[in-house]
Structure formats: structure tokens, C-alpha cells
Amino acid sequence: MIISHKIGEHNLKKEVSEDPLFLLPGKNGGFTYLSANNPVSRFEGVHFSKKDEIYKVIEDIRLVGREATKLTNRAFVIERSSQNAVECFFTNQDRTLLYEIKNFKGYAKIVLDCRKIYDFDTNGRKYKIYQENGVIVVEYTKFKNEASNEYKFYLVIAGIDNYTRPDKWVLKQYPFDKKRNSYPSELYVYDALRYLVDCDMQIVFTFSLDKNEAITKAIHAKENFMFIKKSKEALVNILTKENIKSKNNEIQVAYKCSLNALEGFHGDMGLYAGFPWFTQIWTRDEAISLGALLKEKQYSLVKELLFKHLQVILPDGRLPNRLPSSMLGSADGVGWVYKRFYDFLTALQSEGRLAEFISSHELLYIKKRLAVSIQGLLKEHTKNGLAVSGELETWMDTYYQDDKRAGARIEIQALRLIMYRLMIFLCEFTGNDLKYDSYKELEHVSKHMVREVFWKKRILSDGAGDNTIRPNIFLAYYIYPRLLTKREWTRCFDRALESLWLPWGGVATIDKNHKYFSPFYTGQDNKSYHRGDSWFYINNLVALCLYRLNKSKYDDYIKKIIEASTHEILYKGIIGYHAELSSANNLSSEASLAQCWSSALYIEMIKEIYG
């Protein structure tokens, strides 16, 4: 299989042994996620979103009797090639997939798997397929019982005139899901349509809960097919036009792919955490990802995304963990939001542009809401002068046996300290210095307390009373470098790298000698998830921290991380996207294969190192 990237003036081509995947996100949480050849996961297919629900609609679209030999990423369009035939896939922002076939004579097929994304109940599924107003209407109904239906939606297909209906259910097995212990790993899908292609063809797929709306959108998109394609190309060209100061063509292309990916994660409500199964706005993930937008100077967007959080502060000073919310608590989401406020305001101040983006009234509003958060956290989530959290409330939110990370954790201390630093900045800048001295004292005393409890001369403890080596010390440096001196941080990093470094270019999530360390990704059972697996956002952040602390001393580590992350983006998993994590033992693409903060930290790392 050949993977090719053609973005702007940059071209790459490489032969790989794995069957690659591609992704086209929609602006509303929907996405098209397909393989070069045979689907390997039940989460592959064409998905649309409506009213906070994700609906899977299409299982597969492909040419009959052809095996793809090349996948080309042009950012605005994905091309799947087999012999001389080329299939082109692209989307617009209105729950529409556009599909173009070039230079092929023969049959093509559409396999359906209509359902809500997590609805695996096989009972009561009914397809009704008919023509109306020159288009094909697929009316799908999930029946609750004989008297009533649970839900109904419509897929409309424009551009196909003559077709036959195999009308059969086929058992499909999914090896990727089976490997990660994610069940069901086999489902029945509906072999729905066969149609004849005579050289070239343009087809549109639209979705809606309302049939007439879907028909109208399909007809409009078919009539404006090439205009939509050209518009997508123009937008992507603008997004990816900037080059970085690197002569490495792979880094240039991976950087541009990541810019395009980050744009794809941006929906109406914020930044989606990942595809295919993190299609929510996670407070922590979004705030961490804003570092990339700051590097790209997208200040208006950063402001918009940050200010929305100030409206939903909870009585205990925290923020909801995600939108829509879930049962998991979030000890770090609120701290990351204020960390990004600090980065945002200080970046604007250093450029002399603060007044251009933030009014004095808005600064006072930030200060007021920050005071509410600090007061709530001091009252509800502070013990013996340290920030504390419950089980599974940090980004390491899974457990294995007794490993649940409750109590005082190092990155949570750093986040609390940056909140105090932000308050001091706001007091100084606004001249509204009420309680200024008390916040200065609070930062000083808290910093001293954290040092006393966590700093062990060569080890910065992961938790109070827990000297397990984990990469959270790099988060602490990134968030609040004032905690230790440069010499102390160097000793700390050296010791951590001894225990965590992976030769292929990453860090493990726990000491490689720890009893819970798992060298291979174990999937949905969470055994390896935060106990061995190497997270790409952490790897990129580690490289950034090493660069900031001592770029010459840590040059080999930095280069190795960049090399591994770049390779994963370009040639593994979903091409052009950065996966959630890798096995510790070897570089691989695992878990969610398109993760927002992975791409965002790659952008931030590359932008700072190469400018």
C-alpha cells in the first residue's frame, strides 16, 4: 500500500505494510472514517450528528472487485486509488459527504449500518429504500415494539440513477475491536445497493431526521458539487500556507496535516476531543489544545473558547468535565482553563495587543470568576495546604487494582499555583489590587508546601506519599516552571527519563520497573491505558519541556520524539491525524486514532522549536 501526502508544494510518498485509514470530520460531531480496503472496526463508516446524537449511517462505500493500492491525502480531499480508478471523498459543513469516482467502469456498492453510534441492539431494524424527486431515499426505522418506533432518520443519495438491491444482511467481523477487547466485535450490516459506473460519477450523501430537509440538501450539493470541492481546497490552502523553518519535508507535511486536523476538531460548541468515540467537548482536552491556537495567534478563537467556561463554574470552584457532562469528576479542567487564560493574556501583553482583544471590563470579569473558583477550591478541594482530588478525577482517569491516583497530585498542585499567579497578574494589570497581598502570600506558602512534600532531591513525587515515576512531572514543569530551579528540574528530568524513556521515541505512563507496567496496549480493559501506554500529547509536551529547559543537553530525546510523532501522523493509523497513544514496546497507533490534543501538542512543539 502506498501512502501519499500532497499539501501545497509538499509531496511525500511511502510504501507501508499496514492497511491505512482516513478521516473526514464534520463540523457538528459527525465524521467519515473509512479504511483503504476492508473495515476493521464497527466505528468505521459515515456518521452524522443531530441534536447531540451521533448516528452511523453507512458501513462502507467502495468499488466492487478492486483492491486499493494507494491512499492520497490532499487535506481537502482523500483519494483512494486502485489501478487507474480513483475515488475522491470530501465533506462540507452541512451533514453531507461528497463522493467522486474517476476512470472506472464496473459496479460499486453501498453497505449500510444505520443506528445510533452506540446502539448495538439487533432487534427492530428496518430499511425502506425508494426514489423520490430524482434521488434515492433510505428511510431507517428502529422499532421499539410493533406499536411504536424508537427513532427514525433519513439518508438521501443523489447522483445514482440505476441500481439493484442485494437486500441482504451480512455478518461483519472487526479485528481491531477484537484486539482491543471492545465488544461487540462482529455485527450484521445491510448490503443495500449495487450501481453501474461508466467512467466518471459524482454522488452526494446527506442525512437528516427530516426527509424533505435531506432531499433539499442533497439536490443542492449535487448541483454545486465542483464549487464545494474548490471551496474546500481554497480554505485548506489558506490554512496550510505557512511553512516552518525546517528543511525536513516530513515535519513540514506533518505540521500542515496537524493544522488541518485541528481545524477538523473544531465544531460549533468547541474542540471535539477525538474521533471516533470522543465526540464531546472535554474541558481538559480543549484547554490543553488551545496552546496550539495560541502559537498560531488565533486569538479571537482562543478568547471565545475560554470565555464560555467562565459561565459554568460549579459551586465547588470546578468546571464540568465535558459537554455534555458525565459522572466523572474533573480535578484539572478548571486549572487548565486558567492556565490558558494566563498564557493568552501574557502573550497579548508581550505583543502589546492586550487592549485589542480584551477590555478592562472583561479583565475584571475574569478576575471575579477566578476568585469564585479559588474560593470554592480552597473550601472543597484543599487539605493541609495542598490541592486534593478524588479517585479517577485527573487525566489519568482509569484504574487497575489499587492504582486510582486519589489525593494530592503534582500536576494539580501546579495548576492551582498557576491560578494564584494569574490572579496576581490580574491584580497588577487592572490596578484592582484588593487582596493582592493575600494572593501573593498564598502562592508563596503553597509553593513552599508543594516543594516540601513533593521534592525528593532527584524525584518530584507523582503524589503526596507516592514516589512512583510518571510523566506528570513534565506537566508540572509546563504549567508552573517556577516550582523548581533549572538545576533541580534537570535532575528531576534526568531521573524521570531513566525510568520512562522508550527507545522508539516516547515515554511510558509509569516507571518501566513498576509492577503495573504493561509493555503492550491491552485495549478497553484499561490495564495498560495509564500504566505503560505512551500518549502522544505527553510525548510532544515532554519534547517541548526538554527544549525549554536545555535544548542542547536533551537534543537526542527531542529529535527522537519528533521523529516518532511525525511518522505516526504520516504513515500509521489514520493518515494525517495523531492517535491517542502507542504501546510502550513499539511505535503503534492505538485507542482513539484521531485525538485533538495529540495534534495540538504536535503543532505547539513544532512551532516553538522550528518557528
User: How confident is the model over 99-133, as pLDDT tens digits?
Assistant: 999 999 999 999 999 999 999 999 999 999 999 99
Residues 6 or more apart whose Cβ sits within 8 Å of residue 505: 539, 560, 561, 562, 563, 564, 565, 587
Mean pLDDT of 199-218: 96
State mean pLDDT over 292-310. Answer: 97
CATH 2.70.98 is right for the domain spanning 2-239: yes
Distant-in-sequence, close-in-space partners of 370: CB < 8 Å, separation ≥ 6? 338, 341, 419, 422, 423, 426
Q: How many C-beta atoms surround the C-beta of residue 98 within 10 A?
A: 26
Mean pLDDT of all residues belonging to the chain: 95
pLDDT per residue over 471-487, tens digit each? Answer: 999 999 999 999 999 99
Q: In which band, very low, low, confident or very high, does the pLDDT at 67 lie, cut at 50, 70 and 90?
A: very high
Q: Which of 64-68, 171-175, 397-401 has the lowest mean pLDDT?
A: 397-401
d(CA 45, CA 585): 30
**Would you call the peptide bond into 276 cis, given omega within 30 degrees of 0 as the criterion?**
yes
Average pLDDT over residues 345-367: 97
Decide which of 1.20.140.10, 1.50.10.10, 3.90.1280.10, 1.10.260.40 is the CATH code for 249-391+404-610. 1.50.10.10
Alpha-carbon dihedral sign for residues 426, 428, 434, 435: positive
Cell 477525538 sits on residue? 274
Q: What are 528-559's pLDDT values in tens digits?
A: 999 999 999 999 999 999 999 999 999 999 99
Helices 283-295, 249-265: crossing angle, 10 deg rounding: 130
Residues 6+ apart with CB under 8 A from 97: 24, 32, 46, 58, 89, 90, 91, 204, 205, 206
Tell me how far CA of residue 398 lies from CA of 280, 359, 373, in angstroms.
Answer: 18, 41, 26
pLDDT confidence bin for 355, thresholds 50/70/90: very high
Q: pLDDT tens for residues 269-291? A: 899 999 998 888 999 999 999 99
Mean pLDDT of all residues in 145-168: 91
Q: Is the pLDDT of residue 605 over 90?
A: yes
Q: What's the angle, vertex CA 307, arms to CA 302 and CA 313, rounded to 5?
A: 135
Q: Given this model, what pLDDT does residue 268 score?
A: 84
Count of CB atoms situated within 10 Å of the CB of 445: 12
Residues above pLDDT 90, as percent of the chain: 89
What does the domain layout of the chain look like in residue ranges?
2-239, 249-391+404-610
The pTM for the full model equals 0.96
The pLDDT value given to residue 39: 93
Provide the pLDDT for residue 532.
97
Beta-ladder partners of 33:
23, 45
What mean pLDDT do residues 190-211 have? 96
Torsion, Cα of 152, 157, 158, 161 (10° steps): -120
pLDDT of residue 327: 66
**Average pLDDT value for residue range 486-515:** 98
Q: Do the beta carbons of residue 154 and residue 140 sit within 8 Å?
A: yes
- Return the minimum-mean-pLDDT range out of 182-196, 396-410, 427-441: 427-441
Question: Which tens digits make up the pLDDT trace of 80-99?
Answer: 999 999 999 999 876 899 99
Per cent of the chain over pLDDT 70 is: 99
Contact 200, 101 (CB under 8 A): yes
Closest by CA to 91, choosing from 273, 268, 221, is 221
Task: Give tens-digit pLDDT for 231-241.
Answer: 999 989 998 88
Question: Quick one: three-class SS letters along 191-211?
Answer: EEEEEEEEEEEEEEEEEECCH
Cα 542 from Cα 474, distance rounded (Å): 6
